[in-house]
Amino acid sequence: MTGRGAHGRLDAEERDLEEALAVANETGDRGCPQQVRPARAPKERKKPEDQHDLDLDQALALVRDPDPRGPEPDPPAPGPREGTARSGPRSTGSDDTGGPVQESDPGAGPSATPTPKHRTGHRATPWPEARAVAERVARSVPRRESVDVPLVAAFGLVLAEPLDALTDLPSFDTSAMDGWAVAGPGPWHVREEGVLAGHSASGPLEDGEAVRIATGARVPPDTTAVLRSEHGRIDDKGRLHTALPHDPGSARAGRTPTIAHGQDIRPRGQECHSGEQLLPPGTLVTPAVLGLAAAAGYDTVSVVPRPRVDVLVLGDELLTEGRPRDGLIRDALGPMLPPWLRTLGAEVTTVRRVGDDAETLHRALGSSKADLIVTTGGTAAGPVDHVHPTLSRLGAALLVDGVQVRPGHPMLLARLREDQHLVGLPGNPLAALSGLFTLVEPLLRGLAGRLHLEPYTLPLKDAVPGHPYDTRLIPVAVRADHAVPLHYSGPAMLRGIAAADALAVVPPAGARPGQELELLHLPWALAE
């Protein structure tokens, strides 16, 4: 967790919304040059009982929204100098100064129109649209060549090519049960030799003959059926008869079981024939897929390489061990993000801690060879929030700059090169996870070649209040056929998400008990 993402903000749990609004109205727009601000609907006040659900991010979002009376031009101002961090809201950037601009982009949505960035009061991207932008960005990135890997290395990757059967399955007629392979009607004379799995079958059977056989063994030619061990008995003369076990209480007691042609024989090609497509490209390689590939004759499979991800954890206030002390806090995101990213299909190539230094951040971003860079913290407008100014210096294109979601509003998505992107996550842990689900997950899913997941919904057990304008993502536990909202869902909290199975997508109007909500499942919850 970084404190920088909340620099200079009030805590809504300590001060009520009225005070936050008053402070924001007094100071929020001072010295904030910007271009024309679009009109917006009149602001709504929260009911007193709902005030605790709004932090100052939310309060500032309300008061910084454009005036409902209509567009109002602001006086122009020069953009920030290259590499200069601003302690207040950022001024406009442009192509001339190398600042990040929202440009027309095949992978971006309406938020990437040629509108100058680095301004306050601009409209953040709606949450569904932000996810769609990330998906389009992934589709626009040039595809990396597929690679062939041995089965032992393929788990968690995605098939780049169809998995076609290299042989019939099964590749010969096999016994489905332990018992006897028999030919013709009984009783049968039992041969002395037997047939075990993995061994060659004996010669053809003649009518009236039987041979012991194991499950999975190749049946001898001219076999009529397999008689299960429990359905046969051998008399004193060594002849095999069909018979059910003696059970006086059974309705079948004393009856002779019938045996049908082909009974308990798995015929060749029962599961598939050689050349038949078993799985399409984009299939996630699970343990079951590995088993199927091996059964179908594969030693290696063609897969999409994992997208390479560098993680940069920003902040001078972070400890890597021990208890919080002297104004320092433990880094929660450094241990949490890498395994989470791996479950989403990434190869985490670097986890680096970067202090509050613009030059160090600039060098780290400029030298990265990763497909995706994920930063934590530094996306707001505080005196040590260097992400936006550094993107300006690098000439990055901002595709998403702020999302209408709580927590996690100050997240961003930028393109550094045609094949390299950056997602800036807020520093608060739950806010960062909100950004992970909003921008990183759909982007990585596309880069890794994974298939799109269909939305999954469940009715909500309890009511959840909504933000006036923004989507909310709240931790929930899945219990039977309901989603149960959990406490401890503040942007800096992890206690709720640690006990959760999913995040519920709450629309701006809130949700009533029984209302169906989309769920974003946590990776480990799907594996349970």
pLDDT digits (tens, 9 = 90+) for 160-182: 999 999 999 999 999 999 999 99
Q: Which of 287, 304, 321 is the last residue of a domain?
A: 304
Q: What is the pLDDT of residues 10-24, one digit of tens each?
A: 333 333 333 333 333
Residue 279 within any structural domain of the chain: yes
Domain end, chosen from 255, 285, 304, is at: 304
Based on C-alpha coordinates, what's the Rg of the chain? 32
Please give the residue range of the domain that contains residue 289.
Answer: 147-162+275-304
pLDDT at 49 over 80: no
Q: End of a domain among 388, 415, 447?
A: 447
- Tell me, what CATH number does 184's domain have? 2.170.190.11
For residues 26 and 103, membership in a common domain is answered with yes
- The pTM score is 0.69
Pairing of strands 300-304, 158-159: antiparallel
CATH number at residue 154: 3.90.105.10
- 233 Cβ contact list (under 8 Å, min separation 6): 240, 241, 243
| pLDDT 10s digits, 68-79 | 333 333 333 333
Report helix angle 56-64 to 17-27, nearest 10: 50
Is residue 57 over pLDDT 60?
no
- Indicate the pLDDT class of residue 396, thresholds 50, 70 and 90: very high
Do 209 and 114 belong to one domain?
no
Cβ atoms of 208 and 183 closer than 8 Å: yes
Residue 441 domain-assigned (yes or no)? yes
Decide if 192 is inside a domain: yes
- Note whether 241 and 232 are within 8 A (CB): yes
56 and 189 assigned to the same domain: no
In a domain, 71, yes or no: yes
Which of the pair, 286 or 118, is modelled with greater confidence? 286
Domain match, 130 and 151 both: no
Element (H, E) at 304: strand 300-304
CA–CA separation, 193 vs 211, rounded Å? Answer: 7
Check whether residue 432 and residue 464 sit in a common domain.
no
Q: Rounded distance, CA 399 to CA 344, Å?
A: 22
Q: What is the pLDDT of residue 65?
A: 39
Whole-number pLDDT of residue 526: 55
**Confidence tier at 466 by pLDDT (50, 70, 90):** very high
What's the order of all strands across the beta sheet hosting 188-195? 225-228, 179-182, 209-213, 188-195, 239-242, 232-234
Residues 73 and 115 placed together within one structural domain of the fold: yes
Looking at residue 298, its pLDDT comes to 97
> What's the confidence (pLDDT) of residue 121?
52
Closest CA to 160 of 272, 284, 276: 284
Residues 109 and 237 in one domain: no
Is the same domain home to 433 and 491? no
Q: Report if residue 169 sits inside a domain.
A: no
Please give, one letter per residue, the 3-state secondary structure of 12-79: CCCCCHHHHHHHHHHHCCCCCCCCCECCCCCCCCCCHHHHHHCCHHHHHHHHHCCCCCCCECCCCCCC
- Based on the fold, state whether residues 335 and 428 are members of the same structural domain: yes
Same domain, yes or no: 113 and 196: no
Please count the structural domains in the chain. Answer: 4
Average pLDDT in the chain = 79
Report for 18-22, 58-62, 200-204: range of highest mean pLDDT? 200-204
Q: How large is the average pLDDT for residues 84-113?
A: 39
49 and 133, same structural domain?
yes
Residues 422 and 312 in one domain: yes
Count CB-CB contacts under 10 A for residue 303. Answer: 23
**Interval 319-357: pLDDT, tens:** 787 898 888 888 899 999 999 999 999 999 999 999 889
